[in-house]
Amino acid sequence: MSLEELREQNKEKVVAAALQCFLRYGIENTKISTIAKTAGLTERSIYRYFATKEDLVLAVALLFWSQTMQESERVYASSAVKALKGAQQIEAVLKAYASQYFAAKEKIVFIQEAEVYLHRNGMAALIANKPPAPFDQCEGPLSQAIHTGLRDGSVKNREYVERLYYNAYDGLLGLMQKMATSAPNTWAHTVDDKQRLDDFCEMMVRAFCG
């Protein structure tokens, strides 16, 4: 194994250990020494890969976004979804994004904590738009689905489409975080979680369709 490969392997090990510790103890209560012990590395070696704790929190948060977008991209790339009209593709992508609530609820809560922590430490701008990629670059699955809908006529709300694109991601994440952190026996727990997320996704699709 080359030195570069070893470095990347160790960085991945550190990020995985950091996530484990952040989920268990919370960001504020997690010490770099605890992460080092969990990763099987020295504390000094952690600082070779990440200069500050904030850098490590950011790396963990961006890994979550990367994994989340990979799931949306996997769904969007399927031949069954590609054959649909743009509006139906939007629904499929949003519901794939929403599925992370069930697959990684603890991580959804962590992202909320990470955003607050990074904001407090002057790094909010580095995570604020993860996702999505800029709408006009047409790189992400939701952006591509929307542009498909604009071409085939199933997306009609052209005047506000870019705003809806960003609101769809932010609104859906906010709903998932609210659901994940709501206290038991509150109104949020009287409605089926999947139905609530499906309703939100379908509402967004109706907004795109104008």
Residue 189: the pLDDT is 57
User: What is the rounded average pLDDT for all residues in the chain?
Assistant: 89
pTM of this structure: 0.84
Query: Do residues 104 and 17 make contact, with C-beta atoms less than 8 angstroms apart?
Result: no
Query: Do residues 104 and 173 make contact, with C-beta atoms less than 8 angstroms apart?
Result: no
Whose structure tokens read 């992460």? 35
Residue 187: the pLDDT is 60
Task: Specify the CATH number of the domain 1-51.
Answer: 1.10.10.60
In tens, the pLDDT along 121-146 reads: 888 777 755 666 788 888 889 999 99
d(CA 157, CA 206): 10
If one compares 138 and 77, the residue with the highest pLDDT of the two is 77
Residue 133: the pLDDT is 78
In tens, the pLDDT along 61-76 reads: 988 888 888 888 888 8
d(CA 203, CA 201): 5
In tens, the pLDDT along 41-60 reads: 999 999 999 999 999 999 99
Whose structure tokens read 């994004």? 97
Whose structure tokens read 């089926």? 192
